[in-house]
Amino acid sequence: MADFKLPDVGEGLTEAEILTWKVAVGDEIEVNEVLVDIETAKSIVELPSPFAGVVTELLVAEGEVVTVGTPIVRIELVEEQGTVRPKPDDDGAHAGPEGGVLVGYGPKDHGTRRRRRSVETQAETSTTGPVKVAVLAKPPVRKLAKDLGINLADVPHEGRCVTRADIKAWQESRVETPTAADTESPHAPRGGKRREPLSAVRRATAEAMVASAFTAPHVTEWVSVDVSASVGLVDKMRADPAFGETPVSILVLAARAVCLALRRHPTLHARWSEDTLDYPAHVGLGIAAATQRGLLVPVVLDADMLTTPDLAHQIHELVTTARAGRLQPEQMSGGTFTITNVGIYGIDGGTPILPPGQTGILALGAVARRPWVDVETDEIVPRWVSTLALSFDHRVVDGEQASRFLADIARLLEDPALAVAF
């Protein structure tokens, strides 16, 4: 019998939420077969099994947050040709063929197929000791329970699986009776109070923002830009076969402008340390992405070395992966400068907080038709206008450096043909 412990998946993990079990009590599993999806502060990670055997107990329920090293599943090891499969090390991980620490290792034995043991066999197992049975529910029902902060194991149900109706009935039975103060408040939620547990992403985001806000002295500058030429260029790019099926927006041109401007103003992505400023060799461009799990910032590594079509493709691929909840820790590492596109929500601008350790972040505002004074004719004409807001660490750069950097980005978006001069 072996307990599989929650391992550090390579991002300095201290705790994680058990998101979805991929196995149930009685399942026969193979080496490297995925046991469970866990949610860390940065990503959703699949944990494969480092050994083969039969699942006898799920030690942690879905939705629970546990620390690294906590046993999460118990497995009865099987014997092959008289040799017992290796047990996990004390830290729950195994050394792979090259000596690296991995969660699972070795090729799968394709001659063995996973199967669920019969009810009788499970009953025999239960007589030798307590066995926790996994709660069954369809993925939409699991998501509903997670959104409502309900542990599926607590929900009474008559059928084999927990249903949406079971959750609703359980929720209604737990609703607090509103007090007079609740009912008098115009902002009181209907149906009584509701408490929702913080997700790992929300906790991590909060900690990072507090640490950044109270460590780096933030300053924010704005500039409004006539981006009509960029809007026209975006239309041409969408028809260019080089971009294929990749969606193109002004975000791509803003990303290219940032990379070009950083060549002339490298201090805007230098990193502050106690005695030095560390200048990166290339741009690690973070793209803030709103997802169902919260705000995530995937990073386009060496963004300044990419062609514009490749930059567009990587931004789209990373943001799509983030929204699907499948970003890996390494895809959110190495950022040196970040862009947040608040314009997609119709917002003109804001004062973004720096990602910890970074010196600059650019907020791209909504692109909208506005009256604009033509400097040549002195007439008011309708133009496509956007507002750019740059927040920067005043320890690293002063107002002049930041202003010149922001002015360069504005010039490139106002006249993208200037890119050939940078």
Residues with catalytic roles = 394
Cα(17)–Cα(29) distance, integer angstroms: 22
Q: Quick check: 203 and 209 in contact, CB under 8 A?
A: no
Beta bridge partners of 27: 116
Exposed e or buried b per residue across 144-163, where buried means at least 16 C-beta atoms within 10 angstroms of its C-beta = bbbeeebebeebebeeeebe
Residue type, 74: R
In the DSSP assignment, the letter for residue 277 is: E
Q: Quick check: 115 and 28 in contact, CB under 8 A?
A: yes
Q: Quick check: 284 and 334 in contact, CB under 8 A?
A: yes
**DSSP 3-state of 255:** helix
Cα(30)–Cα(56) distance, integer angstroms: 14
Helix, strand, coil percentages, rounded to 5, for the chain: 30, 25, 45
Query: Would you list the DSSP string of 368-399?
Result: EEEEEE-TTT--EEEEEEEEEEEEEETTT--H
Tokens 């009935």 sit at which residue? Answer: 169
Cα(281)–Cα(257) distance, integer angstroms: 18
Most distant pair of Cα atoms in the chain: their distance: 91
Which sign does the torsion angle of CA 275, 288, 67, 33 carry? negative
Cα(226)–Cα(374) distance, integer angstroms: 10
**302 CA to centre of own chain:** 20
Query: Would you list the DSSP string of 72-133?
Result: EEEEEE-EETTEEPPPP-TTS-EE-TTS-EESS-S---TTS---BPPHHHHHHHHHHS--PP
Cα distances from 419 to residues 58, 286, 416, in angstroms, run 58, 21, 6
Cα(224)–Cα(221) distance, integer angstroms: 11
